Amino acid sequence: MKQNIKLFAVALLGGFVSLTLYHQFITPEVNSQAINTTEKVAHFPVYTSNTKLVAAENLTDFTTAAEATVNSVVHVKNTSVGIQQDPFAELFFGQGHGGRKYERVGTGSGVIISPDGYIITNNHVIENASDIEIVLNNKKKYTAKLIGTDKSTDIALVKIEATDLPFVTFGDSDISKIGEWVLAVGNPYNLTSTVTAGIISAKGRDLEGNNNIESFIQTDAAVNPGNSGGALVNTRGELIGINTAISSQTGSFVGYSFAVPSNIAKRVVEDLMESGSVKRAVLGVTTQPKSDVDGVYISDVSKGTGADKGGIESGDVIKKINAVKIHKFSDLVGQLVAKRPGDEVLVTIDRDGVEKVLKVKLSEISELVTEAFGIQFHELKENERKDLGTSKGVRVAKINNKDLQKLGIRPGYVIVSINNYGLNSLDDVEKVKGMVKNAEDINKLVIINLKGERETFSRGW
Protein backbone atom coordinates (compact mmCIF):
# COMPACT_ATOMS: atom_id res chain seq x y z
CA MET A 1 0.00 0.00 0.00
CA LYS A 2 2.77 2.43 0.91
CA GLN A 3 4.56 1.38 -2.28
CA ASN A 4 1.50 2.33 -4.35
CA ILE A 5 1.25 5.72 -2.66
CA LYS A 6 4.91 6.42 -3.49
CA LEU A 7 4.40 5.50 -7.13
CA PHE A 8 1.33 7.77 -7.35
CA ALA A 9 3.27 10.68 -5.80
CA VAL A 10 6.17 10.21 -8.23
CA ALA A 11 3.76 10.09 -11.19
CA LEU A 12 1.97 13.24 -9.99
CA LEU A 13 5.27 15.08 -9.52
CA GLY A 14 6.46 13.99 -12.98
CA GLY A 15 3.26 15.23 -14.62
CA PHE A 16 3.58 18.57 -12.85
CA VAL A 17 7.21 18.97 -13.99
CA SER A 18 6.26 18.03 -17.60
CA LEU A 19 3.42 20.51 -17.68
CA THR A 20 5.67 23.26 -16.32
CA LEU A 21 8.38 22.55 -18.92
CA TYR A 22 5.77 22.54 -21.70
CA HIS A 23 4.50 26.01 -20.77
CA GLN A 24 8.00 27.38 -20.27
CA PHE A 25 9.70 26.12 -23.43
CA ILE A 26 7.19 24.85 -25.96
CA THR A 27 4.16 27.17 -25.74
CA PRO A 28 6.14 30.47 -26.19
CA GLU A 29 7.70 29.06 -29.34
CA VAL A 30 4.28 28.29 -30.79
CA ASN A 31 2.96 31.72 -29.83
CA SER A 32 5.99 33.35 -31.36
CA GLN A 33 5.33 31.54 -34.62
CA ALA A 34 1.71 32.67 -34.55
CA ILE A 35 2.71 36.29 -34.02
CA ASN A 36 5.19 36.16 -36.87
CA THR A 37 2.55 34.66 -39.12
CA THR A 38 0.19 37.52 -38.32
CA GLU A 39 2.88 40.10 -39.04
CA LYS A 40 3.57 38.61 -42.46
CA VAL A 41 -0.07 39.06 -43.54
CA ALA A 42 0.25 42.83 -43.62
CA HIS A 43 -2.83 43.51 -45.71
CA PHE A 44 -5.19 42.35 -42.94
CA PRO A 45 -6.22 44.90 -40.29
CA VAL A 46 -4.42 44.35 -36.99
CA TYR A 47 -6.42 44.92 -33.84
CA THR A 48 -5.12 45.66 -30.33
CA SER A 49 -6.58 44.14 -27.19
CA ASN A 50 -9.05 47.02 -26.82
CA THR A 51 -10.35 46.33 -30.40
CA LYS A 52 -9.12 49.63 -31.89
CA LEU A 53 -8.00 49.43 -35.50
CA VAL A 54 -4.24 49.92 -35.65
CA ALA A 55 -3.46 49.44 -39.36
CA ALA A 56 -5.28 50.91 -42.37
CA GLU A 57 -7.45 53.38 -40.43
CA ASN A 58 -5.26 56.35 -41.39
CA LEU A 59 -5.52 55.46 -45.07
CA THR A 60 -9.22 56.30 -45.12
CA ASP A 61 -9.16 59.40 -42.92
CA PHE A 62 -10.36 62.24 -45.16
CA THR A 63 -10.97 64.82 -42.47
CA THR A 64 -7.77 66.79 -43.12
CA ALA A 65 -8.38 66.95 -46.86
CA ALA A 66 -12.04 67.87 -46.36
CA GLU A 67 -11.26 70.62 -43.87
CA ALA A 68 -8.62 72.05 -46.20
CA THR A 69 -11.01 72.11 -49.16
CA VAL A 70 -14.64 72.81 -48.22
CA ASN A 71 -14.13 76.53 -47.58
CA SER A 72 -12.29 76.91 -50.89
CA VAL A 73 -15.14 75.51 -53.01
CA VAL A 74 -17.82 78.03 -53.99
CA HIS A 75 -21.28 78.14 -55.51
CA VAL A 76 -21.39 79.69 -58.99
CA LYS A 77 -24.59 81.27 -60.28
CA ASN A 78 -24.75 82.56 -63.84
CA THR A 79 -27.51 84.66 -65.34
CA SER A 80 -27.98 84.92 -69.09
CA VAL A 81 -30.60 86.52 -71.30
CA GLY A 82 -32.72 84.43 -73.66
CA ILE A 83 -35.35 85.39 -76.20
CA GLN A 84 -38.71 83.67 -76.41
CA GLN A 85 -39.84 83.73 -80.01
CA ASP A 86 -43.27 85.12 -80.94
CA PRO A 87 -43.93 84.46 -84.64
CA PHE A 88 -47.17 86.49 -84.61
CA ALA A 89 -45.44 89.62 -83.34
CA GLU A 90 -42.76 89.22 -86.00
CA LEU A 91 -45.43 88.75 -88.66
CA PHE A 92 -47.30 91.96 -87.75
CA PHE A 93 -44.48 94.20 -86.55
CA GLY A 94 -41.54 92.95 -88.60
CA GLN A 95 -38.22 91.27 -87.97
CA GLY A 96 -36.70 92.01 -84.58
CA HIS A 97 -40.08 92.23 -82.87
CA GLY A 98 -40.71 88.51 -82.74
CA GLY A 99 -39.76 87.72 -79.18
CA ARG A 100 -39.40 88.83 -75.61
CA LYS A 101 -36.35 88.68 -73.40
CA TYR A 102 -36.19 86.57 -70.27
CA GLU A 103 -33.54 85.60 -67.75
CA ARG A 104 -32.05 82.12 -67.52
CA VAL A 105 -30.20 81.03 -64.40
CA GLY A 106 -27.63 78.24 -64.25
CA THR A 107 -25.58 77.00 -61.31
CA GLY A 108 -22.44 75.05 -60.63
CA SER A 109 -19.36 75.01 -58.46
CA GLY A 110 -15.94 76.64 -58.52
CA VAL A 111 -12.59 76.41 -56.73
CA ILE A 112 -10.67 79.33 -55.22
CA ILE A 113 -7.03 78.97 -56.32
CA SER A 114 -5.52 82.16 -54.90
CA PRO A 115 -6.08 84.31 -51.78
CA ASP A 116 -6.89 87.36 -53.94
CA GLY A 117 -9.97 85.83 -55.54
CA TYR A 118 -9.11 83.86 -58.69
CA ILE A 119 -11.63 81.04 -59.13
CA ILE A 120 -11.53 78.17 -61.59
CA THR A 121 -14.72 76.54 -62.88
CA ASN A 122 -16.07 74.86 -66.02
CA ASN A 123 -16.71 76.84 -69.17
CA HIS A 124 -20.15 75.26 -69.50
CA VAL A 125 -21.07 76.55 -66.03
CA ILE A 126 -20.66 80.22 -66.99
CA GLU A 127 -21.00 80.11 -70.79
CA ASN A 128 -23.00 83.03 -72.24
CA ALA A 129 -23.49 84.52 -68.77
CA SER A 130 -24.29 88.21 -68.51
CA ASP A 131 -23.80 88.16 -64.74
CA ILE A 132 -21.79 85.76 -62.55
CA GLU A 133 -22.38 85.55 -58.81
CA ILE A 134 -20.08 83.71 -56.40
CA VAL A 135 -21.32 82.51 -53.01
CA LEU A 136 -18.64 81.44 -50.55
CA ASN A 137 -19.07 78.59 -48.12
CA ASN A 138 -19.78 81.19 -45.39
CA LYS A 139 -22.65 82.57 -47.56
CA LYS A 140 -20.89 85.80 -48.52
CA LYS A 141 -21.82 86.88 -52.05
CA TYR A 142 -19.63 88.53 -54.69
CA THR A 143 -20.03 89.61 -58.30
CA ALA A 144 -17.36 87.94 -60.42
CA LYS A 145 -15.49 89.21 -63.45
CA LEU A 146 -14.80 86.79 -66.29
CA ILE A 147 -11.05 86.57 -66.99
CA GLY A 148 -11.17 84.04 -69.81
CA THR A 149 -12.48 80.69 -71.01
CA ASP A 150 -11.21 77.72 -72.95
CA LYS A 151 -13.94 75.63 -74.61
CA SER A 152 -11.54 72.90 -75.63
CA THR A 153 -10.73 71.92 -72.04
CA ASP A 154 -14.03 73.25 -70.60
CA ILE A 155 -12.10 75.48 -68.20
CA ALA A 156 -13.00 79.04 -67.23
CA LEU A 157 -11.36 81.56 -64.92
CA VAL A 158 -13.24 84.26 -62.98
CA LYS A 159 -12.19 86.69 -60.27
CA ILE A 160 -13.83 88.35 -57.28
CA GLU A 161 -12.55 91.37 -55.39
CA ALA A 162 -11.58 89.91 -52.03
CA THR A 163 -8.47 89.17 -49.98
CA ASP A 164 -7.20 86.51 -47.58
CA LEU A 165 -9.49 83.88 -49.06
CA PRO A 166 -8.98 80.17 -48.33
CA PHE A 167 -7.66 78.45 -51.43
CA VAL A 168 -6.64 75.04 -52.74
CA THR A 169 -3.11 74.35 -53.96
CA PHE A 170 -2.49 72.47 -57.19
CA GLY A 171 -1.21 68.91 -56.99
CA ASP A 172 0.54 66.91 -59.72
CA SER A 173 -2.12 64.92 -61.54
CA ASP A 174 0.52 62.96 -63.45
CA ILE A 175 1.63 61.12 -60.31
CA SER A 176 -1.88 60.27 -59.13
CA LYS A 177 -2.53 56.54 -59.33
CA ILE A 178 -5.42 54.25 -60.16
CA GLY A 179 -6.91 53.04 -56.88
CA GLU A 180 -5.88 56.18 -55.00
CA TRP A 181 -8.50 57.66 -52.68
CA VAL A 182 -9.92 61.02 -53.76
CA LEU A 183 -12.57 63.47 -52.59
CA ALA A 184 -15.03 65.30 -54.84
CA VAL A 185 -15.99 68.64 -53.28
CA GLY A 186 -18.73 70.78 -54.74
CA ASN A 187 -21.29 73.42 -53.82
CA PRO A 188 -24.13 72.34 -56.09
CA TYR A 189 -27.28 73.82 -54.60
CA ASN A 190 -25.88 76.68 -52.54
CA LEU A 191 -26.25 74.52 -49.44
CA THR A 192 -22.56 74.95 -48.47
CA SER A 193 -19.92 72.62 -49.77
CA THR A 194 -20.52 68.88 -49.87
CA VAL A 195 -17.93 66.10 -49.89
CA THR A 196 -18.04 62.63 -51.45
CA ALA A 197 -15.28 60.03 -51.52
CA GLY A 198 -14.14 57.45 -54.04
CA ILE A 199 -11.10 56.14 -55.85
CA ILE A 200 -9.46 56.93 -59.16
CA SER A 201 -10.96 54.33 -61.49
CA ALA A 202 -8.97 55.19 -64.61
CA LYS A 203 -6.73 57.85 -66.15
CA GLY A 204 -6.38 59.11 -69.69
CA ARG A 205 -10.08 58.69 -70.43
CA ASP A 206 -11.57 60.29 -73.55
CA LEU A 207 -15.35 60.48 -73.43
CA GLU A 208 -17.32 58.95 -76.29
CA GLY A 209 -19.29 61.68 -78.00
CA ASN A 210 -17.05 64.39 -76.56
CA ASN A 211 -15.77 66.49 -79.45
CA ASN A 212 -12.85 67.71 -77.37
CA ILE A 213 -10.62 64.75 -76.62
CA GLU A 214 -9.11 65.14 -73.21
CA SER A 215 -7.25 62.90 -70.86
CA PHE A 216 -9.86 62.80 -68.08
CA ILE A 217 -9.43 61.33 -64.62
CA GLN A 218 -12.28 58.89 -63.99
CA THR A 219 -13.50 58.39 -60.44
CA ASP A 220 -16.40 56.69 -58.69
CA ALA A 221 -16.86 59.56 -56.23
CA ALA A 222 -20.49 60.74 -56.48
CA VAL A 223 -20.68 63.87 -58.66
CA ASN A 224 -24.01 65.37 -59.75
CA PRO A 225 -24.62 68.14 -62.32
CA GLY A 226 -24.36 71.01 -59.80
CA ASN A 227 -20.88 69.79 -58.84
CA SER A 228 -19.47 70.78 -62.24
CA GLY A 229 -16.47 73.02 -61.68
CA GLY A 230 -15.83 71.63 -58.21
CA ALA A 231 -12.63 70.16 -56.82
CA LEU A 232 -11.21 66.66 -57.04
CA VAL A 233 -8.56 66.45 -54.32
CA ASN A 234 -6.25 63.77 -52.96
CA THR A 235 -6.05 62.82 -49.30
CA ARG A 236 -3.55 65.64 -48.72
CA GLY A 237 -6.12 68.19 -49.92
CA GLU A 238 -4.21 68.97 -53.14
CA LEU A 239 -6.22 69.79 -56.27
CA ILE A 240 -5.70 67.04 -58.85
CA GLY A 241 -8.74 67.70 -61.04
CA ILE A 242 -11.75 69.87 -61.87
CA ASN A 243 -14.96 67.82 -61.86
CA THR A 244 -16.50 68.24 -65.28
CA ALA A 245 -18.78 65.43 -66.44
CA ILE A 246 -20.69 62.35 -65.41
CA SER A 247 -21.53 59.17 -67.28
CA SER A 248 -25.29 58.90 -66.97
CA GLN A 249 -28.45 58.32 -68.98
CA THR A 250 -30.58 59.98 -66.30
CA GLY A 251 -28.57 63.16 -65.72
CA SER A 252 -27.65 62.07 -62.19
CA PHE A 253 -24.66 60.20 -60.87
CA VAL A 254 -24.78 56.44 -61.54
CA GLY A 255 -21.23 55.33 -60.92
CA TYR A 256 -18.61 57.29 -62.87
CA SER A 257 -17.53 60.89 -63.07
CA PHE A 258 -14.75 62.66 -64.91
CA ALA A 259 -12.36 65.47 -64.05
CA VAL A 260 -9.96 67.60 -66.06
CA PRO A 261 -6.48 66.78 -64.67
CA SER A 262 -4.97 69.57 -62.59
CA ASN A 263 -1.84 69.79 -64.74
CA ILE A 264 -4.03 70.71 -67.72
CA ALA A 265 -6.25 73.07 -65.71
CA LYS A 266 -3.23 74.81 -64.17
CA ARG A 267 -1.61 75.43 -67.54
CA VAL A 268 -4.88 76.79 -68.97
CA VAL A 269 -5.54 79.23 -66.12
CA GLU A 270 -1.96 80.48 -66.22
CA ASP A 271 -2.43 81.35 -69.89
CA LEU A 272 -5.78 82.98 -69.17
CA MET A 273 -4.21 85.07 -66.40
CA GLU A 274 -1.37 86.18 -68.65
CA SER A 275 -3.14 86.84 -71.94
CA GLY A 276 -6.80 85.87 -71.71
CA SER A 277 -6.33 83.11 -74.28
CA VAL A 278 -4.73 79.67 -74.45
CA LYS A 279 -1.92 78.72 -76.81
CA ARG A 280 -1.77 75.15 -78.11
CA ALA A 281 1.37 73.06 -78.31
CA VAL A 282 1.76 70.25 -80.84
CA LEU A 283 4.45 67.75 -81.78
CA GLY A 284 3.63 67.99 -85.47
CA VAL A 285 2.76 64.35 -86.15
CA THR A 286 -0.14 62.38 -87.57
CA THR A 287 -1.10 59.27 -85.62
CA GLN A 288 -2.74 56.02 -86.63
CA PRO A 289 -4.34 53.36 -84.41
CA LYS A 290 -2.59 50.01 -84.17
CA SER A 291 -4.31 47.30 -82.11
CA ASP A 292 -1.06 45.46 -81.46
CA VAL A 293 0.89 48.55 -80.35
CA ASP A 294 1.26 49.77 -76.76
CA GLY A 295 1.85 53.45 -77.43
CA VAL A 296 1.01 55.90 -80.22
CA TYR A 297 1.99 54.97 -83.77
CA ILE A 298 3.26 57.82 -85.96
CA SER A 299 2.08 57.59 -89.56
CA ASP A 300 3.41 60.95 -90.73
CA VAL A 301 5.57 63.85 -89.55
CA SER A 302 4.89 67.42 -90.72
CA LYS A 303 7.92 69.15 -92.18
CA GLY A 304 9.48 71.95 -90.19
CA THR A 305 7.75 71.01 -86.95
CA GLY A 306 9.38 70.20 -83.63
CA ALA A 307 8.90 66.48 -84.27
CA ASP A 308 10.64 66.74 -87.64
CA LYS A 309 13.54 68.76 -86.27
CA GLY A 310 13.80 66.47 -83.23
CA GLY A 311 14.27 63.35 -85.34
CA ILE A 312 10.88 61.62 -85.03
CA GLU A 313 10.11 59.53 -88.11
CA SER A 314 7.11 57.87 -89.68
CA GLY A 315 6.73 54.39 -88.19
CA ASP A 316 7.98 55.39 -84.73
CA VAL A 317 5.89 54.52 -81.69
CA ILE A 318 5.73 57.08 -78.88
CA LYS A 319 6.20 55.31 -75.54
CA LYS A 320 6.80 58.21 -73.14
CA ILE A 321 6.60 61.99 -72.89
CA ASN A 322 9.23 62.93 -70.33
CA ALA A 323 8.74 60.29 -67.61
CA VAL A 324 5.03 59.67 -68.27
CA LYS A 325 4.11 56.46 -70.10
CA ILE A 326 1.98 56.81 -73.21
CA HIS A 327 -0.32 53.86 -73.88
CA LYS A 328 -2.92 55.50 -76.14
CA PHE A 329 -3.74 58.67 -78.04
CA SER A 330 -5.58 60.34 -75.16
CA ASP A 331 -2.45 59.92 -72.99
CA LEU A 332 -0.49 61.84 -75.61
CA VAL A 333 -3.15 64.56 -75.87
CA GLY A 334 -3.21 64.94 -72.09
CA GLN A 335 0.53 65.56 -71.97
CA LEU A 336 0.56 68.02 -74.87
CA VAL A 337 -2.41 70.05 -73.58
CA ALA A 338 -0.51 70.51 -70.32
CA LYS A 339 2.50 71.99 -72.19
CA ARG A 340 3.17 75.32 -73.88
CA PRO A 341 4.56 76.09 -77.33
CA GLY A 342 8.32 76.33 -77.04
CA ASP A 343 8.53 73.80 -74.21
CA GLU A 344 11.08 71.05 -74.72
CA VAL A 345 10.03 67.49 -73.96
CA LEU A 346 11.87 64.19 -73.99
CA VAL A 347 10.04 61.81 -76.29
CA THR A 348 10.83 58.12 -75.89
CA ILE A 349 10.09 56.32 -79.15
CA ASP A 350 10.32 52.69 -80.24
CA ARG A 351 11.93 52.39 -83.67
CA ASP A 352 12.09 48.84 -85.00
CA GLY A 353 12.33 47.42 -81.50
CA VAL A 354 14.99 49.86 -80.29
CA GLU A 355 14.08 52.62 -77.85
CA LYS A 356 15.45 56.12 -78.44
CA VAL A 357 15.02 59.30 -76.41
CA LEU A 358 14.66 62.44 -78.53
CA LYS A 359 14.47 66.06 -77.41
CA VAL A 360 11.61 67.85 -79.15
CA LYS A 361 10.66 71.54 -79.00
CA LEU A 362 6.90 71.87 -79.20
CA SER A 363 5.40 74.07 -81.90
CA GLU A 364 2.44 76.41 -81.61
CA ILE A 365 -0.51 75.15 -83.55
CA SER A 366 -1.41 78.57 -84.96
CA GLU A 367 2.06 78.74 -86.55
CA LEU A 368 1.37 75.64 -88.62
CA VAL A 369 -0.70 74.66 -91.60
CA THR A 370 -2.29 71.57 -90.10
CA GLU A 371 -2.46 68.54 -92.34
CA ALA A 372 -5.09 65.79 -92.16
CA PHE A 373 -6.89 63.48 -94.60
CA GLY A 374 -4.90 64.81 -97.55
CA ILE A 375 -5.92 68.39 -96.75
CA GLN A 376 -3.94 71.36 -95.50
CA PHE A 377 -6.01 73.60 -93.23
CA HIS A 378 -5.73 77.29 -92.38
CA GLU A 379 -7.32 79.04 -89.41
CA LEU A 380 -10.37 81.20 -90.13
CA LYS A 381 -10.10 84.79 -88.94
CA GLU A 382 -12.93 86.29 -86.93
CA ASN A 383 -14.02 88.67 -89.69
CA GLU A 384 -14.11 85.75 -92.14
CA ARG A 385 -16.41 83.84 -89.80
CA LYS A 386 -18.75 86.84 -89.64
CA ASP A 387 -18.79 87.23 -93.42
CA LEU A 388 -19.69 83.53 -93.80
CA GLY A 389 -22.20 83.62 -90.96
CA THR A 390 -20.59 80.72 -89.12
CA SER A 391 -19.09 80.23 -85.68
CA LYS A 392 -17.24 77.09 -86.78
CA GLY A 393 -14.98 76.13 -89.64
CA VAL A 394 -11.41 75.94 -90.94
CA ARG A 395 -10.35 76.81 -94.47
CA VAL A 396 -8.93 74.37 -97.01
CA ALA A 397 -5.52 75.66 -98.15
CA LYS A 398 -4.53 72.68 -100.28
CA ILE A 399 -6.18 69.35 -101.08
CA ASN A 400 -4.72 66.11 -102.42
CA ASN A 401 -7.59 63.83 -101.40
CA LYS A 402 -9.05 62.53 -104.68
CA ASP A 403 -12.34 61.36 -103.15
CA LEU A 404 -12.99 64.79 -101.67
CA GLN A 405 -11.84 66.49 -104.88
CA LYS A 406 -14.54 64.52 -106.72
CA LEU A 407 -17.10 66.20 -104.48
CA GLY A 408 -15.88 69.54 -105.76
CA ILE A 409 -14.03 70.52 -102.59
CA ARG A 410 -11.06 72.74 -103.42
CA PRO A 411 -8.89 75.44 -101.82
CA GLY A 412 -10.97 78.18 -100.26
CA TYR A 413 -13.74 75.88 -99.08
CA VAL A 414 -14.49 75.89 -95.36
CA ILE A 415 -14.98 72.59 -93.57
CA VAL A 416 -17.40 73.06 -90.67
CA SER A 417 -17.48 69.52 -89.31
CA ILE A 418 -16.22 65.99 -89.95
CA ASN A 419 -18.39 63.09 -88.74
CA ASN A 420 -20.36 65.58 -86.60
CA TYR A 421 -17.17 66.79 -84.89
CA GLY A 422 -17.23 70.58 -85.11
CA LEU A 423 -14.04 72.35 -86.22
CA ASN A 424 -13.53 75.63 -84.39
CA SER A 425 -9.78 75.81 -84.89
CA LEU A 426 -6.69 73.98 -86.12
CA ASP A 427 -6.49 72.48 -82.67
CA ASP A 428 -9.81 70.74 -83.35
CA VAL A 429 -8.39 69.32 -86.57
CA GLU A 430 -5.58 67.76 -84.55
CA LYS A 431 -8.12 66.22 -82.20
CA VAL A 432 -10.36 64.91 -84.97
CA LYS A 433 -7.29 63.20 -86.45
CA GLY A 434 -7.25 61.03 -83.37
CA MET A 435 -10.92 60.10 -83.68
CA VAL A 436 -11.27 59.78 -87.45
CA LYS A 437 -8.14 57.83 -88.27
CA ASN A 438 -8.20 57.79 -92.09
CA ALA A 439 -9.90 59.67 -94.93
CA GLU A 440 -11.83 56.46 -95.67
CA ASP A 441 -13.44 56.76 -92.23
CA ILE A 442 -15.09 60.09 -93.07
CA ASN A 443 -18.82 59.39 -93.21
CA LYS A 444 -20.22 62.91 -93.02
CA LEU A 445 -18.85 66.26 -94.05
CA VAL A 446 -20.37 69.74 -93.66
CA ILE A 447 -18.74 72.45 -95.77
CA ILE A 448 -19.25 76.03 -96.92
CA ASN A 449 -18.46 76.44 -100.60
CA LEU A 450 -16.98 79.42 -102.40
CA LYS A 451 -20.45 80.94 -102.84
CA GLY A 452 -20.98 80.91 -99.09
CA GLU A 453 -23.50 78.06 -99.34
CA ARG A 454 -23.55 75.28 -96.77
CA GLU A 455 -23.51 71.71 -98.09
CA THR A 456 -23.64 68.34 -96.34
CA PHE A 457 -22.10 65.16 -97.77
CA SER A 458 -22.74 61.67 -96.37
CA ARG A 459 -20.95 58.42 -97.13
CA GLY A 460 -22.18 57.06 -100.42
CA TRP A 461 -21.00 60.11 -102.27
Dihedral pair phi/psi, residue 142, rounded to 5°:
-140, 150
- For 279-288, what is the mean pLDDT? 84
Lowest-pLDDT range, 1-10, 55-64, 67-76, 78-87?
Answer: 1-10
Model confidence pLDDT, tens digit, residues 53-70: 444 444 567 898 999 999
- For 276-304, what is the mean pLDDT? 85
pLDDT band at residue 430 under the 50/70/90 scheme: confident
With pLDDT > 70 as the criterion, what percentage of the chain qualifies?
76
DSSP 290: -
Model confidence pLDDT, tens digit, residues 236-248: 999 999 998 765 5
Q: Domains along the chain?
A: 65-159 (2.40.10.10), 173-275 (2.40.10.10), 281-366 (2.30.42.10), 369-458 (2.30.42.10)
H or E element in which residue 11 lies: helix 2-21
With pLDDT > 90 as the criterion, what percentage of the chain qualifies?
41
H or E element in which residue 405 lies: helix 402-406
Integer-rounded Cα Rg, in Å, for the chain is 31
393, 448 Cβ separation under 8 angstroms = yes
* Letter string b/e over residues 62-78, b meaning 16 or more CB atoms within 10 A of that residue's CB: beebbebbbbbbbbbbb
> Which of helix, strand or coil describes residue 65?
helix
Active-site positions read 124, 154, 228
d(Cα 210, Cα 192) in Å, to the nearest integer? 31
pLDDT above 50 for 34: no
Model confidence pLDDT, tens digit, residues 128-185: 888 999 999 999 999 999 999 988 889 999 999 999 999 999 999 999 999 999 999 9
215, 193 Cβ separation under 8 angstroms = no
Q: On the CB side of 396, how many CA atoms lie within 13 Å of its CA?
A: 24
d(Cα 103, Cα 107) in Å, to the nearest integer? 13
Could you tell me which residues come within 8 angstroms of residue 120 by beta carbon, excluding any fewer than 6 positions away?
110, 111, 113, 155, 156, 157, 229, 242, 265, 269
Q: For the chain, how are helix, strand and coil distributed in percent, rounded to 5?
A: 25, 35, 40
Measuring CA to CA, which residue among 246, 240, 238, 239 is closest to residue 221?
A: 246
Measuring CA to CA, which residue among 433, 458, 428, 436 is closest to residue 445?
A: 458
d(Cα 336, Cα 425) in Å, to the nearest integer? 16
Q: What is the pTM of this model?
A: 0.68
Q: Who has greater pLDDT, 252 or 164?
A: 164
Model confidence pLDDT, tens digit, residues 322-357: 999 999 888 998 999 899 999 999 999 999 999 999
The CA distances from residue 142 to 40, 119, 145, 193, in Å, are 56, 12, 10, 17
Can you say whether the dihedral through the CA atoms of 66, 68, 69, 71 is positive or negative?
positive
d(Cα 385, Cα 241) in Å, to the nearest integer? 34
The CA distances from residue 189 to 57, 144, 225, 232, in Å, are 32, 18, 10, 18
Q: Average pLDDT of the chain? A: 80
pLDDT above 90 for 15: no
* Letter string b/e over residues 189-221, b meaning 16 or more CB atoms within 10 A of that residue's CB: ebeebbbbbbebbebbbbbeebbbbbbbbbbbb
Q: What is the DSSP string of 89-133?
A: HHHHH-TT-SEEEEEEEEEEEEEE-STT-EEEEEHHHHTT-SEEE
Measuring CA to CA, which residue among 441, 448, 350, 451 is closest to residue 403?
A: 441
